[in-house]
């Protein structure tokens, strides 16, 4: 059966979503940007969906009943975990001639959710008639890769020019159409060509620290267009799902104490992949230039004559404390922040005493194994044993933890709590704050 793709106005349209789990969450997230008034009915509602409650989403924590269909909504989504309940809802909707979508049951659906490509005013809906959502997602990524950056702005500019073109050619349909085509071609020529069509280049992209949605918009755009990606440990797997079909993936580890590839090997890999053409993304946790060795990779690319760009990311030095409710700076408490690596070059023993006189907040990265030496060194340098300190593991870490204690006790407290790497160490007044 063929399905006709209507584009409808959903602004303020009443919609009913039955179900409160992750599937219902995805449906709500897709719809809410189009402005409907959604009512969610379910005995239990997951926290992420509950967090969306507001003017356009109302929560009813109870089972579905037929009265939920009066007055009639514009559409209904049956997204419970009970297939029989979903089919009952679909039958009630068909009796009332209300459009219904039933998750994972194409034969019961009156409409499907398309895979969407959105660029401002542009919306492309893709459907396989329920045959293969995976195929629809593949095609979506292909279309996204083909769209040049700035396409949304192009549409806005063309709309603004339409009135002038119509005024210049009143009653002359063919002349007006020719002018509009010329305007489009001129605007299109001014846009950047998608990276897949350009010669070899590398983007050093900071993935942020933690969940996939902490990556920047620019970083995600590049990831969706790349030919190959070279990625580190602790990268959220959801980011790899954003790759175009057929993109090459290269895992190079890069976790403290268990590197799976030497830095020189990674540098050589980036150069080799770039010389094969297309866009290569070097996906790094946190920020490439905050103890991420991105500078070494940039120098290697520069030496090899490979064009590259750097896309900043949210560093663990800031993100992990923020996740625990600790600001690294705070007025009247810390007007400075110092980010320090606990690692040194081969054969060198770090002298932590020299950091004791610094003002503000000290942030130590890659230092959990040296925590006793860090604390003792700071106290030997004159820092008070009562100085607030914290050891934090979060983001994509397998064992999140947040331990707070005075400097003299922090190593023992972290060991007792079983904190595991990777972890961030904070020393300073803000370490005692809990702003969550």
Which amino acids are annotated catalytic?
A: 232, 254
Beta strands 75-78 and 57-60 are: unpaired
27 with 79: CB under 8 angstroms? yes
Q: Which H or E run includes 162? A: helix 151-168
Sheet holding 57-60, edge to edge: 57-60, 37-41, 14-18, 75-78, 99-102
Q: Which H or E run includes 339? A: strand 337-341
297 with 221: CB under 8 angstroms? no
φ, ψ for residue 224, nearest 5 deg: -70, -10
Output Rg (C-alpha) for the chain, integer angstroms. 27
**Cα–Cα distance between 413 and 142 in angstroms, integer?**
51
The pair of three-digit structure tokens given for residue 385, joined into one six-digit string: 């044993």
Nearest C-alpha neighbor of 154 from the set 118, 193, 190? 190
| 263: region left, alpha or beta (phi > 0 left; psi from -120 to 50 alpha) | alpha
**Cα–Cα distance between 146 and 122 in angstroms, integer?**
14
DSSP-based three-state secondary structure for 345: coil
**Cα–Cα distance between 256 and 242 in angstroms, integer?**
26
Q: List Cα–Cα distances, 115 to 210, 275, 339, 344, in angstroms.
A: 26, 34, 43, 49
**Cα–Cα distance between 92 and 99 in angstroms, integer?**
11
**Cα–Cα distance between 423 and 365 in angstroms, integer?**
7
Could you tell me which residues come within 8 angstroms of residue 163 by beta carbon, excluding any fewer than 6 positions away?
none
CA dihedral sign of residues 85, 88, 90, 96:
negative
């Amino acid at each position: 059966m063929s399905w006709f793709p209507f584009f409808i106005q959903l602004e303020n349209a009443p919609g009913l979503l039955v179900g409160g789990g992750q599937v219902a969450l995805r449906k709500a997230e897709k719809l809410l940007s189009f402005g409907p008034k959604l009512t969610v009915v379910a005995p239990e509602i997951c926290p992420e969906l509950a967090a969306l409650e507001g003017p356009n989403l109302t929560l009813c924590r109870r089972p579905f009943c037929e009265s939920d269909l009066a007055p009639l909504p514009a559409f209904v989504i049956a997204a419970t975990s009970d297939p029989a309940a979903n089919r009952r809802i679909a039958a009630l909707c068909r009796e009332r001639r209300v459009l219904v979508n039933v998750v994972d049951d194409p034969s019961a659906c009156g409409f499907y959710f398309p895979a969407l490509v959105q660029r401002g005013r542009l919306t492309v809906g893709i459907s396989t008639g329920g045959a293969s959502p995976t195929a629809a997602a593949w095609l979506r990524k292909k279309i996204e890769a083909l769209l040049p950056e700035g396409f949304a702005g192009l549409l806005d500019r063309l709309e603004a020019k339409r009135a002038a073109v119509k005024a210049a050619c009143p009653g002359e349909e063919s002349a007006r159409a020719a002018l509009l085509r010329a305007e489009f071609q001129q605007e299109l020529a001014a846009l950047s060509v998608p990276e897949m069509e350009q010669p070899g280049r590398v983007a050093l992209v900071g993935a942020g620290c933690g969940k996939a949605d902490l990556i920047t918009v620019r970083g995600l755009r590049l990831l969706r267009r790349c030919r190959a990606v070279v990625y580190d440990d602790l990268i959220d797997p959801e980011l790899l799902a954003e790759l175009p079909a057929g993109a090459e993936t290269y895992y190079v580890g890069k976790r403290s104490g268990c590197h799976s590839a030497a830095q020189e090997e990674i540098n050589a890999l980036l150069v080799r992949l770039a010389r094969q053409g297309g866009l290569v993304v070097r996906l790094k946790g946190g920020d490439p230039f905050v103890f991420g060795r991105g500078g070494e990779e940039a120098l290697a690319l520069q030496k090899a004559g490979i064009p590259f760009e750097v896309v900043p990311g949210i560093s663990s030095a800031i993100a992990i404390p923020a996740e625990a409710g600790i600001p690294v700076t705070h007025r009247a408490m810390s007007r400075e922040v110092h980010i320090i690596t606990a690692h040194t070059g081969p054969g060198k023993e770090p002298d932590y005493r020299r950091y004791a006189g610094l003002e503000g907040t000290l942030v130590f990265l890659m230092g959990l194994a040296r925590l006793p030496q860090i604390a003792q060194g700071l106290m030997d340098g004159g820092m008070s044993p009562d100085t607030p300190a914290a050891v934090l593991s979060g983001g994509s870490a397998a064992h999140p933890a947040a331990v707070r204690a005075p400097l003299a006790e922090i190593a023992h407290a972290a060991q007792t709590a079983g904190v595991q790497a990777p972890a961030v160490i904070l020393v300073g007044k803000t370490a005692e704050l809990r702003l969550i």
